[in-house]
Chains A and B, each alone.
Chain A
Amino acid sequence: MRAMVYRGPYKIRIEEKDIPRIEHPNDAIVRVTKAAICGSDLHLYHGLMPDTRVGTTFGHEFIGIVHEVGPSVEKLAVGDRVMVPFNIFCGSCFFCARGLFSNCHNVNPNATAVGGIYGYSHTSGGYDGGQAEFVRVPFADVGPSVIPDGLDDEDALLMTDALATGYFGAQLGDIHEGDTVVVFGAGPVGLYAAKSSWFMGAGRVIVVDHLEYRLAKAREFAHAETYNFAEHDDIVVTMKRATDHLGADVVIDAVGAEADGNLVQHVTAAKLKLQGGSPIALNWAIDSVRKGGTVSVMGAYGPIFSAVKFGDAMNKGLTLRMNQCPAKRQWPRLLEHVRNGHLKPSDIVTHRIPLEEIAEGYHLFSSKLDGCIKTIITTDAA
């Protein structure tokens, strides 16, 4: 089969690989029909995530058709059209039993601090991802769901991570009616978090980024007020002025490890890899939220230290909430919202490219060319 293969920082290519095989009785092999490039894939692509091995295939957002099932699989059959959450989880460990699917303890031998994620380095379990024609899907009775009739392929694909994560980020903000919510980052997760904040009764939603075309999408798709931090000397002061000097009730970090806006932080983290992630957006969140407010962190960071302003967080009495999203837990409600017309997930898709051109797809997304917000990968196998 053809698969995207990592060759080292900033380098990927398409290679022929063996079709994955059933390695556990509850495995399925899924023929991928659509995959996406996620912002967090860029952390791997740029060499930020420890134990990212040459030869691995990225991709934790994908949908496809069941090609083969292991002997203990009961709920899926060959030919089923499935959406697969980005988390790999067993459904039966201490954490899964409590709904913390993203924190499963039975799927990642390489680390206890993170669960299993498709195509997200050995630090997340050493599984290949779905930017390929086929992918191994462990715990087929637990993770994937048959795509409901009437749900568009692209909408289903976006539920596997970006949409679920944005929606989850708004939930972790514990938004109450009339709250002012600031979202740092107008990428896919930030756009969905901003949109979801309204569902939870926000009175104002403000989105901050430095890419004007993304802010335009935030205004159109998420009905948000927008600020371009490149046009403000100090975005924290601007946020204070915009919120009656009180600060926002809730701030969502939808940027993560490669945040821009402070040259020293960005270069030491994203370029020189001396930090687990560039905490610029997180620090702005801590400083922009009101005292006693909540910061929800959806941006992904690496496992080593970052220069985060915990002193301010402590002194302000903040609630900091964060996790990898347990995507499947969000699906029933998100399906309702899509069916009811509150949300059209694929409205943020800007590029659709064949698997063969994935190296250009990564560069396009990484360098934010051509108004890129979300890129979808299609395979000929589809």
Chain B
Amino acid sequence: MSDLPDLPYIADKPAPRESVDALRARIPGWGVDLDPADRPAVPREQHAPEGTGAHWDFPDRQPELSPRERSIEHSMLTPVFGTVAPLRGVSGAVRRYAYRYSEARAAHWLLLIAGDRIDSVGSHVKSFATLRPDNPLTETGLLAEFRYQGLRSRIGRRRVDGYHAWLDPIIVAGPWVVAGIVTVKLAGKLLSAARR
């Protein structure tokens, strides 16, 4: 029967590479959760409302001190919600508009991402009017490159992220460089227009 092909072209299961005894001896805790029915995630829906610690049928409602945006797939504002970073400014308007669309719509998520970018650029620009402007050197943690062996961690390691690592500075600094060039060009045009 030696002309039979190998797995999986025949019905047999692969032979175990190690016996159960060998696995038990080698791996601490091997098989302690062997019974699939006796695992914490089984059954998936484990109806046991009495064991959660909740002592209410429906929680008290957290006061809504300022209007709180919500998904239109919710029929009401949830009784508890986060209150950090409420909507504000242009990014807030974009995000508020995003919440007119359901979570099923790409428009919802793409507008939220647009709001995120407006928020981060706007906050960065505004920081220059404060006593603590954004500092790209400290806030990106770049100093870790020196402290935590940046070069040695990469060179000769065959890391696949090396193929695109060069993109990171462009993604982080690129928009600022472009914005700077555009600003300088615009200023130049305004100046020359004023001279005429």
Chain A 150-190 per-residue mask, 1 if CB under 8 angstroms from chain B, else 0: 00000000000000000010011011111010000000000
B159, A368: Cβ atoms under 8 Å?
A: yes
C-beta contact mask, A241-275 vs B, less than 8 Å → 1, else 0?
00111100000000000001101001100010100
A96:B54 contact, CB within 8 angstroms: yes
Give the interface SS of chain B, mostly helix, strand, loop or mixed.
loop
Q: How far is the CA of A248 from the CA of B192 in the complex (A)?
A: 69
Total A-B residue pairs with C-beta atoms closer than 8 Å? 314
How many residues of chain B get a CB closer than 8 Å to chain A's CBs?
A: 101
Provide the main secondary structure of the chain A interface: loop
Interface check B139, CB cutoff 8 A? yes
Q: Which of A90, A125, A261 contacts B59 (CB 8 A)?
A: A90
- Are A333 and B160 in contact, CB atoms less than 8 angstroms apart? no
- The answer to whether B74 touches A53, judged by C-beta atoms less than 8 angstroms apart, is no
A57 touches B (CB below 8 Å):
yes
For residue A304, CB closer than 8 A to chain B, the reply is yes
Q: Is residue A340 within 8 Å, beta carbon to beta carbon, of the partner chain?
A: yes
**By the criterion CB–CB under 8 Å, are B124 and A177 in contact?**
no
Residues of A within 8 A of B187 (CB): none
Whole-angstrom distance between the Cβ of B155 and the nearest chain A Cβ: 12
Bound-complex Cα distance A260 to B137 (A): 26
* CA–CA, A367 and B124, complex, Å: 23
Residue pair A203, B23 in contact (C-beta under 8 Å): yes
Q: How many residues belonging to A are interface residues under a CB distance threshold of 8 Å? A: 117
Which residue of B16, B56, B110, B158 contacts A231 across the interface (Cβ within 8 Å)?
A: B158
Which residues in B have their C-beta under 8 angstroms from that of A176? 36
Residue-wise interface mask of B (73-105) relative to A, using a CB-CB cutoff of 8 A (1 in contact, 0 not): 110011111111100000100010011000100
Q: By the criterion CB–CB under 8 Å, are A201 and B17 in contact?
A: no
Q: Evaluate whether A126 and B82 lie within 8 angstroms (CB atoms) in the complex, with A90-B54, A211-B159, A337-B29 already known.
A: yes
* A198 on interface, CB distance cutoff 8 Å: yes
User: How far does the Cβ of B58 sit from chain A's closest Cβ, in whole Å?
Assistant: 7
B33 partner, pick from A98, A110, A199, beta carbons under 8 A:
A199
Residues of A within 8 A of B63 (CB): 23
Contact residue among A56, A177, A273, A364 (Cβ-Cβ distance under 8 Å from B84): A56
Contact A200 B85 (CB under 8 A): no
Which of A8, A116, A371 is close to B123, meaning CB atoms less than 8 Å apart?
A8
Q: Is the CB of A263 within 8 A of B140?
A: no
Contact (Cβ within 8 A) B60 A26: yes
Pick from A57, A98, A369 the residue with the most CB of B within 10 Å.
A369
8 tightest A-B CB contacts, nearest first? A342-B29, A8-B120, A363-B141, A126-B82, A91-B54, A91-B52, A127-B82, A97-B49
| A residues apposed to B, CB below 8 Å | 7-13, 23-26, 47, 50-57, 72, 74-75, 88-92, 96-101, 105-113, 116, 122-123, 125-128, 138-139, 141-142, 168, 171-172, 174-178, 180, 196, 198-201, 203-204, 210-212, 223, 228-231, 243-246, 260-261, 263, 266-267, 271, 273, 276, 290, 302-305, 326, 329-330, 332-333, 337, 340-343, 359-364, 367-372
Q: List 13 A-B contacts (CB under 8 A).
A: A11-B134, A11-B139, A72-B55, A92-B56, A97-B52, A109-B69, A126-B84, A127-B84, A199-B32, A200-B31, A231-B158, A271-B164, A361-B141
- Other 12 A-B pairs with CB < 8 A, given A13-B139, A198-B27, A203-B18: A11-B134, A13-B134, A55-B123, A91-B49, A100-B44, A123-B112, A168-B40, A199-B32, A201-B30, A211-B159, A267-B167, A330-B41
